[in-house]
Amino acid sequence: MSLSHASAPPAVKKPARAWYAQLWVQVVAAMIIGILVGHYYPQFGTRMQPLGDAFIKAIRMLIGPIIFCTVVHGIAKMADMARVGRVAIKALIYFEIITTIALALALVMVNLWQPGAGMNVDLSTVDTSSIKGYIAQTEKTDTVSFLLNIIPNTFVGAFTEGHVLQVLFIAVLCGFGLTWLGPRGKPVIDLTETVSQMLFQVVGIVMWAAPLGAFGAIAFTVGKFGASSLLSLGNLLICFYVTCIVFVVVVLGAVARICGFSLFKLMRYIREEILIVFATTSSETVLPRMLVKMEKAGCEESVVGLVIPTGYSFNLDGTCLYLATAAVFLAQATNTPLDISHQIGLLLILLLTSKGAAGIAGAAFVVLAATLASSGTIPVASVALVLGIHRLMSEGLTPTNLIGNAVATIAIAKWENALDEDRLRRVLDGEDLDAEALGAEPARIA
């Protein structure tokens, strides 16, 4: 599973695949067909939802075991507990800085854009019955409950309940335990490597269904939320998408330049993953592939194993942009006074509540409701206004989360001197065909 960049023989370049056999081309084609089906046959399109849901479930069932094997193997091979702690601290510092910038940028953009100004919504006329289930979950998003939830009730429960942080917690403990066993732990380390390779073979098989999953998810979205939602709240959607683009190009672009690589080349390298999360509105669908792709791009296995799973909970840049944009929009739409002191307070609350988005169904929407309840300024019932376009906004926030975590992995690897910069350059320039073709076959290149 580990990449021995220095000692590995030169890779034998495989002939380029036909353009129509590339996964990203198939996913784009499936999305276009899904859009057409959803637009012209909306009822049929909404019935395609199980295709997208099935693909997401198939990937999610593999995430826990893959994270466990990757992290355990990475820590055990590192054999340096101090370094593990150092990587974790650096990652958390980076995550907090970048998510704070994301929240501040969103507040600035939504105040300049004013997408809710003039709507003059009377909440007494808004049907809030559809949001009762979401509001009921807000009590689960407080900081103490979130931290306690990192510790699973049972060892097996972490895997069966699908909580990424719980699996990561157990994996770190097991990695430490194996390190302290010394030579006696080698058979288990070898076993985790073998199991990991098997699991990535399975991921390769499941990814053959990615175009079908993308078709089902897009057909459902367009069929159910299409034109009417875009017309009624189109200004908010445009504001949010522009904010995501500005954040990716300006903020993440600056981080990429500081670290010496091209953001746009990185986005080209992970284009298939970006398309998949855009279609399915779920970042989890590509988590296993991101673990492999970041390692193939020159980041050390141990760093990738810690940063990617942790980033999926603590480095939700797109989610932060969504929360700040939607909260201020609701204040504008309901004519709720929100001066600078209120907005600074909102930012501080969001810094905490945004970290509680992990492991909750409809996480961003639930956390938005929890944030409004905590602020006590913006009416919680107003979240009903954005429920209809939440999925459309998710198609902007999930790719932003994904790109943010890819940039974070390279940045922290460089910060930790755990980045093969020559390999990164070759991969991003498209010189490494094995890395570019990752996922086309059910195999993980060793």
Query: Which of 134-138, 153-157, 169-173, 361-365 has the weakest average pLDDT?
Result: 134-138
Question: pLDDT at residue 110 above 90?
Answer: yes
Quick: pLDDT tens for 397-441.
899 999 999 999 999 999 999 999 999 999 999 876 555 555 444
Which of 56, 105, 102, 170 minimizes the C-alpha distance to 354? 102
| Coil, strand or helix at 432 | coil
Within a 13 Å sphere around the CA of 157, how many CA atoms are in the beta-carbon half? 7
Quick: pLDDT tens for 165-176.
788 889 888 888
pLDDT for res 131: 57
Quick: pLDDT tens for 17-61.
676 777 878 888 998 898 899 888 888 988 998 888 888 888 888
CB 204 within 8 A of CB 293: no
pLDDT for res 49: 85
Question: pLDDT at residue 193 above 80?
Answer: yes
pLDDT for res 125: 60
CB 175 within 8 A of CB 301: no
Task: Report d(CA 398, CA 409) in Å as an integer.
Answer: 17
pLDDT for res 244: 96
CB 170 within 8 A of CB 412: no
Which of 158, 155, 402, 169 minimizes the C-alpha distance to 291? 402
Average pLDDT, the chain: 81
Task: Report d(CA 1, CA 49) in Å as an integer.
Answer: 35
CATH superfamily ID and name for 19-436: Sodium:dicarboxylate symporter (1.10.3860.10)
Own/partner pairs, 253-256, CB within 8 angstroms, 24+ separation = 255/98, 255/407, 255/411, 256/407, 256/410
User: Which tokens hold the place of 223?
Assistant: 């069929």
The residue length of the chain stands at 446
Note if the pTM is more than 0.95.
Answer: no
Please report, rounded to a whole number, the percentage of residues in the chain having pLDDT higher than 70. Answer: 82
Which of 248, 433, 277, 281 minimizes the C-alpha distance to 290? 277
pLDDT for res 180: 85
Comparing 309 with 442, the larger pLDDT belongs to 309
Query: Which of 139-153, 287-301, 393-407, 427-441 has the weakest average pLDDT?
Result: 427-441
Instruction: Name the residue with tokens 């279609």.
Output: 279
Query: Which of 73-87, 230-244, 260-274 has the weakest average pLDDT?
Result: 73-87
Task: Report d(CA 279, CA 214) in Å as an integer.
Answer: 5
